[in-house]
């Protein structure tokens, strides 16, 4: 049978089933209602429209509708057309749409790390920037564009990163990508094509990053992390490692910055071995009690790949990130990214460029830095008052803190939090499989809750602590 759709009104794909036209159409409509493909209340095309689309007589459709109205599958009202009837058994054998147990227990309070307070997204300023960017956009911005990214965004990023993060960032060295994960996947592909076999990662970190490198064909041996950050001196003894993924500004999840001696050791290793450092500038813009820690890339732009994102400073939904590459890597990364069809949305890039150039980005980051610092202070003060036996660390920067727990208490606390409607993340969740020692603790994300939910989340946290 020829597939057909209604020309106007409600779109309807229907294929008559069985013998004659009338019975075949009736059977097809009945089956669509019975299985739930046509939900109760769905308005059907007029008999004239459906007859024209199917290439059959209007009376045939009208008779099929009338049969199903008589059977109770459809309803017809003067002036309202024909609709699927409200029936308790309309879904037939279809699996009921009951929420899962996990969905029914959706957390009331969320202290999971890794997300900013998205309720503070600067909608009005972003809309203004979007309007200005759209008005000034060249015609070619609406077509297929350079996979490296819009030059407007790369230009303002180069200025911003040099000023705010100490990055050597010529626009020609920048590649725009759809989030940090996208950029890391591209680097994994390029490293493997270059013949690398291993990429070292920190002993505490996100498994999704390890998995991306593993999927690219790279082994991921771990660098131990202590109170001074990753032990980068160990890289000299890892003969097959061709790259190292580090979070120098704010180690995730422990929160410590990489010690200056270890920063130098990482760069020395890259220079002597020909390896690359992949710098994840995690939470680099949010610092509170310390001087800014500049990007590692500034020590050697030819051996460090700087990777940043707007996910924490603005919102994850933007899917905008950037890589500042050694000059010789730019073409390889663009080739790995693919042709223009794989580019990041040009209009969002132009909006971000305008948002940064206008100063709105700096104003927003400063405002959020103050907001998150107040939350950090409230967290520390509340725990000192109501749970003084628990040590909080990793609080000089970022959007999360580590709350250390007694050995063996981690599972009990997280389970209690689940029943209290509080989402928490275990510190051990971020341990590398080969890590020698793991601490019990919680990684508390104080960036995630809205202002209205923050005090309630703090109360819930204190209730579940042993």
Let me know whether 355 and 368 are in one domain: no
For residue 88, what pLDDT is reported?
57
- Does residue 103 form part of some domain? no
Same domain assignment for residues 195 and 325? yes
Q: Phi, psi at residue 174, to the nearest 5°?
A: -100, 135
Determine the pLDDT at residue 344.
81
pLDDT in tens, 23-75: 888 888 988 898 888 889 888 888 888 888 888 889 988 999 989 988 889 99
* pTM higher than the cut 0.85: no
Q: Which backbone phi and psi does 199 adopt, to 5 degrees?
A: -130, 115
pLDDT at 456: 92
Task: Give Cα separations from 448 to 119, 144, 215, 259 (angstroms).
Answer: 9, 36, 30, 28
Q: What is the pLDDT of residue 22?
A: 85
In terms of C-beta distances under 8 Å and separation of at least 24 residues, what long-range contacts does 75-83 make, across chains too?
Answer: 81/43, 81/44, 81/46, 82/43, 82/44, 82/46, 82/47, 83/41, 83/42, 83/43, 83/44
Contact indicator for 108, 421 with CB cutoff of 8 Å? yes
Report the candidate in 252, 203, 271, 193 with the shortest Cα–Cα distance to residue 231.
203
Q: For the chain, what is the domain count?
A: 3
Do 319 and 330 share a domain, yes or no? Answer: yes
- Of 64, 97, 130, the last residue of a domain is 97
Q: What is the pLDDT of residue 286?
A: 86
Do 417 and 330 lie in a common domain? no
Contact at 8 Å (CB) between 157 and 322?
yes
Same domain? 25 vs 89: yes
Q: How confident is the model at residue 96 (pLDDT cuts 50, 70, 90)?
A: very low
Regarding whether 144 and 70 lie in a shared domain, the answer is: no
Among 428, 394, 162, residue whose Cα is nearest residue 301: 162
Q: What is the pLDDT of residues 348-361, one digit of tens each?
A: 999 999 999 999 99
Confidence of residue 388 (pLDDT cuts 50, 70, 90): very high
- Provide mean pLDDT across the span 256-260: 94
Parent domain of 22 = 1-97
On whether both 285 and 375 belong to a single domain, the answer is: no
Is residue 24 included in any domain, yes or no?
Answer: yes
Instruction: Summarize pLDDT for 333-343 with one digit per residue, the tens.
Output: 999 988 665 67
CATH of residue 450: 3.90.1150.10
Q: Is the pLDDT of residue 8 over 80?
A: no
Q: Which of 303, 332, 359 is the last residue of a domain?
A: 359
pLDDT at 367 over 90: yes
| Residues 293, 425 within the same domain | no
- Judge if 220 and 294 occupy the same domain: yes
Together in a domain, 13 and 57: yes
420, part of any domain? yes
Flag whether 104 is in a domain. no
Last residue of a domain, which of 327, 344, 359?
A: 359
Residues 87 and 152 grouped into a single domain:
no
Considering the domain boundaries, does residue 75 fall inside one? yes
pLDDT of residue 465: 92
Asked whether the predicted pLDDT for residue 90 surpasses 80, the reply is no
Percent of the chain surpassing pLDDT 90:
64
Q: What is the CATH number of the domain that holds 67?
A: 1.10.10.10
Residue 451, in any domain of the structure: yes
Q: Is residue 102 part of a domain?
A: no
CATH number at residue 323: 3.40.640.10
Sign of the alpha-carbon dihedral angle for 161, 162, 167, 172: positive
How far, in whole angstroms, is CA 159 from its chain's centroid? 26
Q: 349 lies in a domain?
A: yes
For residue 290, pLDDT over 80 is answered with: no
Q: Are residues 381 and 351 in the same domain?
A: no
């Amino acid at each position: 049978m020829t597939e057909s759709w209604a020309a106007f009104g409600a779109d309807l794909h229907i294929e008559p089933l069985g013998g004659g036209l009338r019975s075949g159409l009736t059977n097809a409509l009945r089956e669509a209602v019975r299985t739930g493909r046509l939900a109760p209340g769905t308005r059907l095309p007029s008999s004239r429209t459906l007859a024209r689309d199917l290439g059959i007589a209007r009376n045939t459709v009208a008779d099929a509708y009338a049969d199903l109205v008589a059977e109770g599958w459809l309803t017809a009202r003067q002036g309202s057309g024909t609709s699927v009837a409200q029936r308790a058994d309309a879904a037939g054998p279809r699996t009921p749409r009951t929420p899962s147990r996990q969905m029914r227990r959706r957390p009331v309070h969320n202290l999971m790390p890794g997300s900013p307070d998205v309720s503070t997204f600067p909608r009005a300023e972003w809309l203004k920037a979007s309007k200005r960017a759209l008005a000034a956009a060249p015609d070619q911005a609406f077509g297929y564009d350079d996979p490296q990214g819009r030059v407007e965004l790369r230009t303002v990023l180069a200025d911003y990163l040099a000023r705010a993060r100490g990055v050597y960032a010529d626009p020609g060295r920048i590649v725009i990508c759809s989030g940090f994960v996208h950029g890391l996947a591209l680097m994994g592909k390029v490293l493997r094509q270059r013949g690398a076999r291993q990429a070292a990662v920190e002993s505490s970190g996100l498994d999704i990053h390890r998995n991306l490198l593993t999927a690219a064909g790279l082994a991921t041996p771990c660098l131990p992390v202590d109170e001074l950050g990753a032990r980068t001196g160990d890289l000299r003894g890892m003969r097959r490692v061709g790259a190292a993924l580090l979070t120098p500004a704010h180690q995730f999840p422990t929160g410590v910055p990489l010690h200056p001696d270890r920063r130098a050791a990482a760069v020395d290793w890259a220079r002597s071995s020909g390896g690359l450092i992949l710098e994840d500038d995690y939470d680099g813009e949010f610092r509170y009690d310390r001087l800014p820690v500049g990007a590692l890339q500034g020590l050697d732009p030819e051996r460090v790949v700087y990777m940043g994102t707007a996910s924490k400073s603005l919102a994850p939904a933007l899917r905008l990130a950037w890589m500042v590459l050694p000059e010789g890597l730019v073409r390889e990364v663009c080739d790995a990214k693919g042709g223009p069809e794989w580019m990041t949305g040009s209009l969002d890039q132009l909006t971000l460029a305008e948002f940064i150039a206008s100063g709105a980005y700096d104003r927003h980051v400063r405002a959020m830095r103050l907001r998150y610092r107040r939350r950090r202070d409230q967290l520390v003060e509340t725990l000192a008052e109501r749970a003084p036996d628990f040590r909080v660390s990793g609080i000089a920067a970022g959007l999360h803190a580590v709350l250390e727990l007694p050995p063996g208490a981690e599972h009990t606390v997280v389970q209690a939090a689940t029943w209290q409607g509080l989402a928490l993340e275990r510190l051990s969740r971020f341990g590398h499989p080969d890590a020698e020692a793991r601490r019990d603790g919680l990684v508390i994300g104080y960036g995630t809750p809205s202002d209205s939910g923050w005090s309630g989340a703090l109360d819930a946290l204190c209730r579940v602590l042993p």
